[in-house]
């Protein structure tokens, strides 16, 4: 599977995660978002934009 580390700089962490999930139902998107934020340890960064990260943090 190809991995692309590009983030949309004007979107929050939440919006960047949800973008590929837009075709799915809202309940599924919300459940998946919560799970991914937890797995990646990004809960506290949920509403931050990628520019707020330092160094390699934006590749998580």
Q: Is residue 32 part of a domain?
A: yes
Confidence of residue 37 (pLDDT cuts 50, 70, 90): very high
Cβ neighbours of residue 8 under 8 Å, at least 6 residues apart?
Answer: 15, 16, 19, 50
Number of domains in the chain: 1
Q: Is residue 2 part of a domain?
A: no
State the Cα–Cα distance between residues 22 and 20, nearest whole angstrom: 6
Average pLDDT over residues 40-55: 85
* Domain carrying residue 39: 13-59
Average pLDDT over residues 32-36: 96
Average pLDDT over residues 12-37: 95
pLDDT of 39 higher than 70? yes
Q: Is residue 6 part of a domain?
A: no
Q: Is residue 4 part of a domain?
A: no
Q: Is residue 23 part of a domain?
A: yes
Q: Is residue 45 part of a domain?
A: yes
């Amino acid at each position: 599977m190809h991995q692309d580390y590009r983030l949309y700089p004007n979107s929050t962490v939440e919006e960047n995660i949800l973008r590929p999930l837009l075709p799915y139902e809202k309940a599924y998107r919300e459940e998946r978002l919560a799970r991914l934020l937890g797995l990646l340890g990004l809960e506290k960064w949920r509403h931050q934009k990628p520019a707020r990260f330092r160094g390699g943090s934006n590749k998580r």
